[in-house]
Amino acid sequence: MKPIQVGLLGIGTVGSGVFNVLQRNQEEIRRRAGRGIEIAMVADLDVERARKVVGEGVQVVSDARAVIANPEIDIVIELIGGYGIAKALVLEAIAAGKHVVTANKALLAVHGTEIFAAASAKGVMVAFEAAVAGGIPIIKALREGLTANRIQWLAGIINGTTNFILSEMRDKGLDFAVVLKEAQRLGYAETDPTFDIEGVDAAHKATIMSAIAFGIPVQFDKAYVEGITQLSATDIKYAEQLGYRIKLLGITKRVDKGIELRVHPSLVPSKRLIANVEGAMNAVVVQGDAVGATLYYGKGAGSEPTASAVIADLVDITRLHTVDPLNRVPHLAFQPHTLDQAMSELPVLPMSEVVTSYYLRLRVADQAGVLAKVTGILAGAGISIDAVLQREADEVGGEGSTQTDLIILTHDTREGTMNDAIAQMQQLPTVLASITRIRKEELN
């Protein structure tokens, strides 16, 4: 049987990994897919560089639309990234009857509903395993492996850059700005790291996983997003002393009122496996009602790990290429035409309605009665205290210091209630700096 013909848009780090892994493992892949998979055409603005990667026998062009227009091409891989031209090209490929494989989490998180609807109408597949957590097959696990389960929640370390930074801050006791520069020097962080350190990249991925886990549309605009730029080495140290580690988590959870979708730094008990995921590695915990907790761990980025996921999608499409579209695995796990209307309309809750527990650090005057006033405000708001830690003034500000740190761990409370309590505590004359608040996730 003739190999299935693939067109590749963009042959940078991931694209070259896809080409190399496909070449190296072509016989193994052919045996698994049932026929060969062949990259027949590549589009890249740097034609000369692309030719050096693919060698002879592969047509290289500068115009991506020439790949889409080629009637011999069955599958288009989009590895350009971003929301702009990538969206246009994906929709044009679908309109031309091509299946699409993409690693573009930003595109799917923002425009996924439109793209999946277009693909369903045309009877083609859009595969995106590489869009979330690199080489970890989390999309396939959620969409297929866990189909018997009612997913209750998932929480993931899904951005390697921020996890590397937090690991270094903890290990070396350094502040964020210092470690960010080191991460950039080592190539873990981009020159402009905004999408990573502000939590946007993780929120794109969490949005996609939430849609698959709960059968809701992709709704990136409803996600709560908070990055790691305000974290200090002091809080990482205190968290460690209390038996926790701080991780940037993407969290989505099914609750009575709807769906939580949030990305923010979280204290996680150090005994949890996910708390011990270090460096640039990724991990996702999924809690299902039948299976319990499952953990998926591995490289979340890089040329060949991401290529692994892209090629897995190519194999899936090759296997299902001739299958009736209604008998394929749905893009977002739930069959659109049988989707329970109430489920699909479950709202994504505003952050003020989310219930979780908290770590609070207050820089306060070292005098009698301060703790009583603070705990009085929390009690008045109905917020229960789990633990209190007060540092010696000398330890915080040096010998003769007149201020100290007060650390409070709370039990679960509504975010809006905590916001009001923090505003009241901030007004106390004995509270000398902005109060630090980090959410705490037990992940039981």
Q: Which residues are catalytic?
A: 205
Would you say 11 is a known binding-site residue? Answer: yes
User: Alpha-carbon distance 155 to 250, whole Å?
Assistant: 6
Three state DSSP letters for the chain = CCCEEEEEECCCHHHHHHHHHHHHCHHHHHHHHCCCEEEEEEECCCHHHHHHHHCCCCEEECCHHHHHHCCCCCEEEECCCCCCHHHHHHHHHHHCCCEEEECCHHHHHHHHHHHHHHHHHHCCCEECHHHCCCCCCHHHHHHHHCCCCCEEEEEEECCHHHHHHHHHHHHHCCCHHHHHHHHHHHCCCCCCCHHHHCCHHHHHHHHHHHHHHHCCCCCHHHCEECCCCCCCHHHHHHHHHCCEEEEEEEEEEEECCEEEEEEEEEEEECCCHHHHCCCCEEEEEEEECCCEEEEEEEECCCHHHHHHHHHHHHHHHHHHCCCCHHHCCCCCCCCHHHCCHHHHCCCECCHHHCEEEEEEEEEEECCCCHHHHHHHHHHHCCCCEEEEEECCHHHHHCCCCCEEEEEEEECCEEHHHHHHHHHHHHCCCCECCCCEEEEECCCC
Amino acid at 74: D
Would you say 199 is a known binding-site residue? Answer: no
Would you say 369 is a known binding-site residue? Answer: no
Would you say 174 is a known binding-site residue? Answer: no
User: Alpha-carbon distance 79 to 103, whole Å?
Assistant: 6
Would you say 284 is a known binding-site residue? Answer: no
Would you say 14 is a known binding-site residue? Answer: yes
Would you say 416 is a known binding-site residue? Answer: no
Would you say 16 is a known binding-site residue? Answer: yes
- As annotated, the binding site for NADP(+) includes 9-16
- As annotated, the binding site includes 9-16, 105, 190
- As annotated, the binding site for L-homoserine includes 190
